[in-house]
């Protein structure tokens, strides 16, 4: 899920084009602000628009605030809604947990789940809830002693080392406190973030998939939307209130703060605000980065992902159990694919590369006007251009090798076999300790890896990658592929590739954890006697991947030295302060409930209703409306969740809040800080928002909180959950029922 932002024309370059450098007080809806920046926002204007609570109610480092109610959950965000650790997030955020707990007899991923009491709450395996404890500027500490003459690689290593040391000192593992240090504004500053990490998360109520992901991929990123994308979970702690692994004796976690809910709904143009954990934006990137992503990396990944989805769907045909296990993976790839496709279209439509180039031309002119600027900033843009020219030379090959390396855990382990055998020929004192430790961990993980292995999927993906590698342009071919298949043509090559892939999943040396483990005991001579080309192939891919990784680290070190100077120089040129890019840390954004014009002769209103769900019903996935929901609609049995005329139930709504992937599950609140909905998506016309924001067309999509409660209560029979909630603006009917 994503949203977008727009740039002004080149005519307004010095004022608006470099959006990231507009001062916080001048911004419109754009910006994902750190909580400690809120006092720099135009508070009087926000109050005039509808903000009713003080900033201290949103962020208070010395006491409970909304900050303490909003948490990281898996790949998204969640919010506490009760003193008993009840948590609301998206259905798609909790979906992996539902899939992991499902089988053909208990298909929770498709049919939903309902715990009648605490004892029935379903463990969400692998899920945690992380609550921000502190955020602190540690720039001076991180950059101390790092001079301008430090090489890019040495500088990057020193920053990483200092960041780890600061994070380690702030961590308290026995108390569940974790920490990390992250760069802001492309490394212009560094912040320490500490979290309380809770490791026992359980599912309380999840609607069926044909509500929680109604409309499926066809509706993904689209408006009008009619999705009930929510799930209730509960966070647990040990009996002493401290973080603990799952145990029957654990008790519901007591959050410092939980949100109230408003049943009053929202109106068009009403002020709203969001807190959450947006994943990543790149709004300060140079034109070379934007062009590389738009024209090289993203189109390549789009092509690969399209084929991956096709292969995964083919593998699952006729096997219901496999379909259940694959659906989460297919959704994740499909979601990313549509995001990438829409982003490329939007970036080209808005001419972002050309706007960036015009912006950089103005920057170069500004630099040329002053010798001191020339000394400080003169090499920034030329050096970035040179770095990207080098990166692009082998970009397609490098991207393909990364795909091979991520083919499967088994392939990754096999890539180490030859290296370990060669290492064992050396004296003990000369062996690569890091490699040997990596192998030790990999061998220990083999039983779990094989328990979860799906040979059919791996084989299909392996064949696909081999065929895709054959299409690489001259000069970017992969030697490991070409020396095995390059002299073959047509059907002969296809058969050879298929046989090779079949060996990977069915060959006696690769079919079990024990067989793979035994390979690590062999000498180079013994491995040669096995005559297994696959071992050599995996090793060669691994070696090339390591070389590419080293090149990328050098590239990253170079640009990480240059980008802070670019941001600083642009800021100096305009006399403005930039807001930081998203980096999966807690952020605040605000906007209005508002529709948009997607294209000529069309106007999209900001609200959808249950009647629209019924209109979309085809009886077939992904538009198969549950029978009970249709019965409730026909009977107009909406309870207190209906519109004022009693004829409908609000479902989803739009706002101009600036959100992106990672914000999934974020609470959207009214000016009193009461939750009125839950963010779950952005619109297609607004994609590309990791690089730019488009206030005219970019919209965040949220489930109306009244639809959440309606589904849980009237449809799901989980009305007991409502007794935990602090509900404001309660209709008289609900007050009487309570």
- Provide the Cα torsion 68, 200, 667, 606; round to 10°: 170
| Alpha-carbon separation of residue 22 from 13, 458, 523 (angstroms) | 12, 48, 62
Q: pLDDT digit string (tens) for 391-419?
A: 999 999 999 999 998 889 999 999 999 99
Distance of CA 111 to the CA centre of its chain: 25
pTM for the full predicted model: 0.90
Question: Both tokens of residue 167?
Answer: 């994070």
State the first-to-last Cα distance of the chain, in angstroms, to the nearest integer: 36
Q: What angle do CA 31, 35, 39 make, to 5 degrees?
A: 85
pLDDT of residue 148: 67
Whole-number percent of the chain with pLDDT over 90: 86
Q: For the chain, give the number of residues.
A: 738
pLDDT of residue 27: 45
pLDDT of residue 3: 31
pLDDT of residue 563: 97
Quick one: which of 201, 204, 203, 200 has its CA closest to 238?
200
pLDDT of residue 130: 99
Q: pLDDT digit string (tens) for 569-611?
A: 999 998 888 889 999 999 999 999 999 999 999 999 999 999 9
pLDDT of residue 7: 24
Domain 1-128+199-284+587-738 has CATH 1.10.10.10: no
pLDDT of residue 320: 86
Query: Which residue in this structure is represented by tokens 């519901």?
Result: 252
Residue 383's H or E segment, with its range, is helix 380-393
CA atoms within 13 A on the CB side of 75: 16
Query: Which residue in this structure is represented by tokens 């240090």?
Result: 181
Parse the chain into domains and list their residue ranges. 1-128+199-284+587-738, 291-390, 396-549
| Alpha-carbon separation of residue 124 from 2, 85, 114, 556, 558 (angstroms) | 25, 14, 14, 36, 41
pLDDT of residue 329: 87
Helix ranges (H only) for 592-689 are 610-616, 627-634
Return the axis-axis angle of helices 320-350 and 91-100, rounded to nearest 10°.
150
Question: Both tokens of residue 175?
Answer: 């108390």
Whole-number percent of the chain with pLDDT over 70: 95
For the chain, state the CA radius of gyration: 27
């Amino acid at each position: 899920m994503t949203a977008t932002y727009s740039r002004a024309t080149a005519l307004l370059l010095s004022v608006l084009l470099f959006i990231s450098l507009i001062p916080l007080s001048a911004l419109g809806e754009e910006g994902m602000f750190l909580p400690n920046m809120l006092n720099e926002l135009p508070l009087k204007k926000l109050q005039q628009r509808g903000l009713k609570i003080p900033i201290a109610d949103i962020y208070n480092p010395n006491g409970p605030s909304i900050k303490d109610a909003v948490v990281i959950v898996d790949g998204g965000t969640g919010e506490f809604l009760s003193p008993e650790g009840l948590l609301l997030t998206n259905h798609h955020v909790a979906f992996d947990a539902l899939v992991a707990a499902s089988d053909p007899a208990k298909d929770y991923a498709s049919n939903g789940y309902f715990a009648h009491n605490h004892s029935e709450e379903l463990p969400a395996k692998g899920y945690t809830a992380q609550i921000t404890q502190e955020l602190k500027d540690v720039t001076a500490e991180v950059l101390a002693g790092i001079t301008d003459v430090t090489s890019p690689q040495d500088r990057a290593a020193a920053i990483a080392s200092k960041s780890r040391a600061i994070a380690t000192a702030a961590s308290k593992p026995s108390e569940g406190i974790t920490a990390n240090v992250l760069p802001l504004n492309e490394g212009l500053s560094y912040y320490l973030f500490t979290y309380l990490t809770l490791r026992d998360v359980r599912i309380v109520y999840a609607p069926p998939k044909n509500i929680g992901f109604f409309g499926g991929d066809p509706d993904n990123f689209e408006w009008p939307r009619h999705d009930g994308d929510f799930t209730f979970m509960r966070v647990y702690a040990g009996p002493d209130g401290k973080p603990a692994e799952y145990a029957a004796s654990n008790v519901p976690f007591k959050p410092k703060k939980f949100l109230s809910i408003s049943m009053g709904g929202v109106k068009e143009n009403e002020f709203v605000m969001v807190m959450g954990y947006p994943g990543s934006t790149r709004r300060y990137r140079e034109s070379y980065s934007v062009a590389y992503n738009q024209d090289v990396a993203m189109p390549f990944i789009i092509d690969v992902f399209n084929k991956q989805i096709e292969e995964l769907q083919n593998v699952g045909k006729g096997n219901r159990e496999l379909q259940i296990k694959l659906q989460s993976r297919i959704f994740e790839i499909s979601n990313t694919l549509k995001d990438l496709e829409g982003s490329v279209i939007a970036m080209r439509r808005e001419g972002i590369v050309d706007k960036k180039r015009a912006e950089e031309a103005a920057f170069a002119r500004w630099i040329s006007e002053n010798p001191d600027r020339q000394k400080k900033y003169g090499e920034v843009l030329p050096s970035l251009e040179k770095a990207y020219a080098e990166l692009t030379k082998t970009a397609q090959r490098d991207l393909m090798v990364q795909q091979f390396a991520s083919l499967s855990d088994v392939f990754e382990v096999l890539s180490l076999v030859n290296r370990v055998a060669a290492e064992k020929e050396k004296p003990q004192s000369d062996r690569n300790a890091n490699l040997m430790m990596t192998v030790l961990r990999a061998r220990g993980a083999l039983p779990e890896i094989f328990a979860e292995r799906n040979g059919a999927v791996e084989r299909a993906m392996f064949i696909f990658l081999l065929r895709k590698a054959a299409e690489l342009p001259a000069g970017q071919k992969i030697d490991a592929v070409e020396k095995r298949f390059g002299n073959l043509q047509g059907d002969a090559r296809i058969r050879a590739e298929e046989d090779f892939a079949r060996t990977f999943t069915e060959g006696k040396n690769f079919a079990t954890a024990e067989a793979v483990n035994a390979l690590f005991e062999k000498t180079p001579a013994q491995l040669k006697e096995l005559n297994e080309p696959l071992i050599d192939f995996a090793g060669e891919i691994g070696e090339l991947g390591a070389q590419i990784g080293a090149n990328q680290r050098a590239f990253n070190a170079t640009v990480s030295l240059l980008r802070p100077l670019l941001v600083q120089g642009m800021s100096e040129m305009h006399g403005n302060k930039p807001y930081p890019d998203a980096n999966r840390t807690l952020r605040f954004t605000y906007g209005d409930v508002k529709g948009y014009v997607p294209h000529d002769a069309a106007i999209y209103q900001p609200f959808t209703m249950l009647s629209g769900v019924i209109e979309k019903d085809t009886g077939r996935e992904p538009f198969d409306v549950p029978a009970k929901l249709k019965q409730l609609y026909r009977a107009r049995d909406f309870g207190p969740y209906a519109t004022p005329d009693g004829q409908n139930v609000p479902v989803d709504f739009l706002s101009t809040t600036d959100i992106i992937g990672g914000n999934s599950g974020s609470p959207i609140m009214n000016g009193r800080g009461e939750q009125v909905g839950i963010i779950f998506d952005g619109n297609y016309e607004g994609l590309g928002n990791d690089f730019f924001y488009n206030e005219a067309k970019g919209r965040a999509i949220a489930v109306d909180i009244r639809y959440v409660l309606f589904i849980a209560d009237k449809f799901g029979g989980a009305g007991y959950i409502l007794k935990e909630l602090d509900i404001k603006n309660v209709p008289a009917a609900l007050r009487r029922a309570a």
